[in-house]
Amino acid sequence: MQITGNTILITGGGSGIGRALAQAFHALGNKVIISGRRADVLKEVSAANPGMAWATMDATDAEGIKAFADRLIADHPDLNAVINNAGIMKNEDIKAAPTYLDIAEETIATNLLAPIRLTAALLPHFLTKPKATVLTVSSGLAFVPMVATPTYSATKSAIHAYSVAIREQLKGTSVDVIEIIPPYVQTTLQGDHQATDERAMPLDVYISEVMDILTNQPQATEVVVERCKPLRFAARNGNFDQVFGMVNGLHS
C-alpha cells in the first residue's frame, strides 16, 4: 500500500494495536479516523494526536455500520483505506451452553460479520479512488487454533479466507487487500495481565516491525512479523501438531 497520503479509518483505534497503528499512520502525515464504542477513550487518543478524528461505532450493530460508513464518507470524502481491527477474544467452554453460545455469537458478530459489513459499505466508494486499501486483522491463531478460544480462532481463519478471496475478486481494480497477522502482543485484549505478559511481543516492537514491512514491502499481501512465522507457516513447514501443542501447552 502507499504509506502516506491516505485517509484511513481504523476500527478499535482507541486501544492496543489499533491505537498504535493509528499513531504510526498519523505520524506519517495520513489523515486518521479512529472508531470504537468508548467515546471517552477515542476522545483522549485524538487529543493526544492533534488532527486525528474519531467517531463511535458498535461493530455488532449491523444497520449502524452502514449508517456509520455513509456518514464517514460524507464527512471524509477522501477516505481511501480501512483497517478492520476491532475485535474481542474471550475464553469459551463449549460444555457451558447456552452461555457459551452468547460468547460465540458476539465473537462472530464483532470479528467476522463487522469487517464484512464495513468493507461492503465502503467498497463502492473505494472503487472510485485511484488507490485504496482494505486491511484486515487476523491472527496467528487463524493458522494454529487456540483450544480455549474455538470461535475466536475460527473467526480469524475466516478472516484469512475472506481476505484471500476478496483480494482475488478485486484484482485489476484500484483496491488492494492486505492481511495483518499478529502474534501474541502486549495489549489488554484478554485482560490487563496480557499487557505485561513477558511471553507476548511488546506492542511498540510489534508496530515498528509492521510499519517496516508496510513501508519496505509495498507489494506484501500479508504482514507477518518474524515472531508469527512459526504459526503462519506451520502447515507449510509440516510441524502443525508440534506448534499446536506448543501454543496450547499440550506437550511437556
Ligand X SMILES: NC(=O)c1ccc[n+]([C@@H]2O[C@H](COP(=O)([O-])OP(=O)(O)OC[C@H]3O[C@@H](n4cnc5c(N)ncnc54)[C@H](OP(=O)(O)O)[C@@H]3O)[C@@H](O)[C@H]2O)c1
Give the catalytic positions in this structure.
152
H-helix or E-strand spanning residue 56: strand 53-56
Q: How far is the CB of 138 from ligand X (least distance, A)?
A: 7
Torsion of CA 115, 140, 192, 107, to 10 degrees: 40
Interatomic CA distance for residues 231 and 109, integer angstroms: 25
Q: Closest approach of Cβ 206 to ligand X, in Å? A: 8
Residue 86 interacts with ligand X (CB under 6 A): yes or no: yes
Write the binding mask 185 to 204 for ligand X: x where contact by CB under 6 A, - elsewhere: x-xxx---------------
145 binds ligand X (CB under 6 A): no
**For ligand X, which is the closer residue by CB, 59 or 135?**
59
Taking CB under 6 A as the rule, does residue 115 contact ligand X? no
Inter-helix orientation angle 16-27/39-48, to 10°: 30
In the structure grid, which three cell numbers stand for residue 183, read together? 502474534
Q: At what angle do helices 114-126 and 62-75 cross, to 10 degrees?
A: 30
Give residue number: closest CB to ligand X. 16
Residue with cell 485524538: 46
φ/ψ bin of 238: left (φ > 0), alpha (ψ from -120 to 50), beta (otherwise): left
Indicate the residue type of 198.
Answer: E
Binding-site size, ligand X (CB under 6 A): 29
CB of 222: closest distance to ligand X in angstroms? 13
- Neighbouring C-beta atoms of residue 129, cutoff 10 Å: 18
Out of 31, 184, 211, 232, point to the residue binding ligand X (CB under 6 A). 184
From the list 22, 33, 59, 104, which residue makes contact with ligand X (rule: CB under 6 A)? 59
Prior bond to 98 cis, omega within 30? Answer: yes
Q: Is 14 an interacting residue with respect to ligand X (CB under 6 A)?
A: yes
18 binds ligand X (CB under 6 A): yes
- In the complex, the residues that contact ligand X under the rule CB under 6 A are 11-12, 14-18, 36-38, 41, 57-60, 85-89, 110, 137, 139, 182, 184-185, 187-189
